[in-house]
Amino acid sequence: MAYGKSIELFLVNGTADSLTIAELSNWNRKAIKIPRIELSSCYREDITQAGV
């Protein structure tokens, strides 16, 4: 039987068109969505590490 999951979305700049951080309940990772045009101006520690 499949159980439900909770996804928390954090809109960093307050809009869905910008940087978004997603976290899944019972998971110790983050998913970060950033538009390509904002990548060079973003100085967050989260995105300096390797990712897929």
Question: Is the pTM value of this prediction over 0.75?
Answer: no
pLDDT tens digits, one per residue of 20-45: 999 988 888 888 888 888 877 877 77
pLDDT > 70? residue 52: no
The residues, any chain, with a CB within 8 Å of residue 23's CB and separated by 6 or more, are 7, 8, 10, 29, 30, 31
pLDDT > 90? residue 8: yes
